[in-house]
Copies of this chain bind each other. A is one copy, B any other.
Amino acid sequence: MKSILENINKIFENRVRLALMSILMVNDEAEFNALKQMLDLTDGNLAAHIATLERNHYVSVRKEYKGRKPSTTYSATPEGKRAFTEHLNALEKIINNIH
């Protein structure tokens, strides 16, 4: 009966990464500074959480110049989308179990 925890993804237990992924599910891409402002994070903190998502291949990065300014854009990978969906399904089960 530890099925309650099955499919709950450790990576997404953290609220910041949960938020990042949910933003990147709805928006195809998002820039570093936009995410930073949306979630009110220090840049170091944001960079660290993104790095965790990258390490797990849940997020991909694109670096470019927008005008004359460097810009880093993040996207959820197909693998990231799959993993996150599975996580949400696990949460949904818990919710349905109770409501």
Contacts and interface: CB of A to CB of B under 8 A. Distances in A.
Interface string A12-43: 01111011001101100000000001111000
By DSSP majority rule, is chain A's interface helix, strand, loop, or mixed?
A: helix
Contact of A94 (B14, B22, B37, B94): B22
Copies in the complex: 2
A95 interface: yes
Contact of A4 (B1, B19, B98, B99): B19
A2 B94 contact: no
Interface residues of A, number: 28
A-B CB proximity, top 6 nearest: A1-B38, A4-B19, A25-B98, A2-B40, A22-B94, A8-B15
